[in-house]
Chains A and B, each alone.
Chain A
Amino acid sequence: MKEEIKYNFPTKEGKYGKYGGKFVPETLITALNELEEAYTKLRSDQTFINELDDLQSTYNGRPTPLTFSKRLTEHYGGAKIYLKREDLCHTGAHKLNNALGQILIAKYLGKKRIIAETGAGQHGVATATVCAKFGLECLVYMGEEDIERQKLNVFRMRLLGAKVIPVSSGSKTLKDATNEAIRDWIANVRDTHYIIGSVVGPHPYPMLVRDFQSIIGKETKEQIIKVEQKLPNYVLACVGGGSNAIGIFHEFIKNEEVNLIGIEAAGLGIDTNLHCATLTLGSEGIFHGMKTYLLQNEDGQILPVHSISAGLDYPGVGPEHSLLKDLERVNYQSITDGESLDAIMKVSKLEGILVALETAHAFAYLEKLMPNTKKDEIVVVNVSGRGDKDLNTIIEKLGDKI
């Protein structure tokens, strides 16, 4: 292994280079400061660490396996492909890693009411799950369009005792659900904890969500060294807000020889206006409490975005990804709706894993990456979630091709 490079973000002001920060109305500042203070204390508190470790192993099912993908490797004929199996987490995606950490903080802060936003519904399900386990009231804001395309997860949340609140403003997707969740938090900040589902929002959220998700990369590093005695050459993950990506990337950022590739949703194509390739096509702005890359018009209004996958359908991105793009430490690429559907079919048939539409974007990039890889190299793909929730969309799009 080569010498590690220096990388230590955020600063104590919550900045990642020029990105990040705390761009929220005054009402929330005290709560954000309390959250930061509590988290700073808890992360080195042995009782908290033990409790979270125990939940991660006995409830969430960690560590998740690193699976060697023999048939995909043979199919491409290049590097060996390994899969980090976050789809095997309880509730079917990496989202529970963060929800478990945050519910413990909420418990410590004495908050009785939990709110969350959700796009694909995976974070909503994860939040509803931890609220059920800890006996706390749970409200999940979800765009009307997402409620339609992720019906199964809506039923799951209700079954878990959560109240799902439809959001009809704006584009009726994740952006608008997040607006409503923040407004709810402004009004109920005294007794409510807001569990943000991705590495977005005002400081300290991008940091604490990253910290709870970085277990993915820590396990991956240990597991790959155990089987291959070396680091991977490439690590791939899909990027919406960017929590599964930062989760697997973070541990490898200091190892410059590991190529990190984040894959955004190109929707119908980056030459159309129906995509959400924020890092590929966006510009600097302030939104949802953070300075970061955004898809916006020249007036500074946020643009409507599109992806077949509700979890990537977001016009912003976590501020740490914006920094990693500017530092050229992570290479950000994009994949269309159609390419992601092809990948779903391929991974199902060659590996026996139905991946989520979000995750399929990372797999689709193998088509471009693998021809340039060598047999003695290693690629790790983060399987951020399973695709059962997407069956309705998949049947609608692929019905007669299957």
Chain B
Amino acid sequence: MSKIKTHLESLNNKGEKALTIFLTAGYPNINSFTELAVKVIEAGADILEIGLPFADSLADGPVIQSSYTEALKQNVNLKLTLKLISEIREKTNIPIVLMSASNPILNYGISKFRDDAIELGVNGVIIPDIPLEEYDNFFQNSFDGLDTIILTTPTSSEERIKSIDKRSSGFLYCVSVVGTTGIRNKFDDYVLENLERTYKLVENNKMQIGFGISSGDDVKRFSPFCDGVIVGSAIIKSLSNDDSNFTNTIKLVKELKSACKN
């Protein structure tokens, strides 16, 4: 049984939605990254999603892109990211998910990646540029022991959502909007309609919502239609001008978690 799924179930059984916090590996800087992760967990994050910086990430908006640029200046790569995750793993038991473009993993070697990731404490992977069509070819059933989390979007047909639900493990990542990552000031009507539709179609997985969620109010609006929320750009934006204790970011995580409990 997937550790991520079990964790989501136990939170939901307590009447809470899960909170997944996205951090760019090594951002804002490598030396304090483990400390940041631990503080974020203490403030209420239930799952950590660590993004491997990729300079040509297609699904990301300007905020996450610029964090990637900064991390790449510090030479953050997959090896270092796995090392950072192992440091965090020593201090926490919560699930950790690695988000990466496919190319760095391909270069690292898929089976070596699988072995190292499991050994160093990764529970699942999200590779946004491996859609259902390429899933079998890329993973070649070689990701045993790691959850492979697949995304649905508002443009996915019902049939696709059902197929994705069958293949996804850990959870199903429901992208809220048609677009790249980034904070939204308002959500069009289709967003809630799509969440409601997708949530009804998903049978095998817990469903978490991501893209555009930035506040406790957003969480409250979306929580009837999901098992958890994923917050990325709002956290990265906060980190981009926070103090060395990450005061504002921690405050934001607390606000988000408190909304998850409502």
Contact = CB atoms under 8 A, between A and B. Distances in A.
Interface of A: 13, 21-31, 169-170, 175-176, 179, 182-183, 186-190, 284-289, 294, 296, 298-302
Contacts, number: 117
Nearest to A34: B155
A285 B106 contact: yes
A24 B178 contact: no
Contact of B56 (A22, A26, A31, A179): A179
Given A298-B107, A302-B56, A186 B179 contact: yes
Contacts of B132: 26, 29
Interface of B: 54-56, 58-59, 61, 65, 69, 72, 77-78, 101-108, 128-134, 137, 150-157, 160, 164, 175, 178-180
B178 A27 contact: yes
Given A23-B102, A26-B153, A289 B180 contact: no
A29 B160 CA distance: 10
B106 A13 contact: no
B104 A299 contact: yes
Contacts of B180: 183, 186-187
Contacts of A182: 58
Give 7 nearest A-B pairs by CB, closest first: A300-B107, A300-B104, A187-B179, A299-B77, A300-B103, A25-B59, A27-B153
Majority SS of interface residues in chain A?
mixed
Contact of B128 (A25, A190, A285, A287): A25
Contacts of A31: 155
B133 A296 contact: no
B157 A285 contact: no
B59 A186 contact: yes
A398 B228 CA distance: 62
B178 A186 contact: yes
Given A21-B134, A24-B58, A27-B153, 5 more contacts: A25-B59, A26-B156, A29-B133, A29-B160, A302-B103
Contact of B107 (A176, A189, A299): A299
Contacts of B131: 22-26, 29
A287 B179 CA distance: 19
A23 B106 contact: no
A21 B133 contact: yes
Residue with the greatest number of chain B CB neighbours at <10 A, chosen from A26, A176, A285, A289 = A26
15 contacts: A26-B131, A26-B150, A29-B133, A29-B155, A183-B58, A186-B59, A186-B180, A285-B107, A299-B77, A299-B78, A300-B105, A301-B54, A301-B104, A302-B55, A302-B103
B102 A286 contact: yes
A25 B58 contact: yes
A189 B178 contact: yes
Nearest to B66: A169
B72 to A, nearest CB: 7
Nearest to A22: B133
Contacts of B129: 23-25, 286, 289
Contacts of A186: 58-59, 178-180
A30 B157 contact: yes
Nearest to B137: A21
Contacts of B179: 27, 186-187
Contacts of A298: 107
Nearest to A298: B107
A134 to B, nearest CB: 25
A300 B108 contact: yes
A21 B103 CA distance: 14
Contacts of B134: 21-23
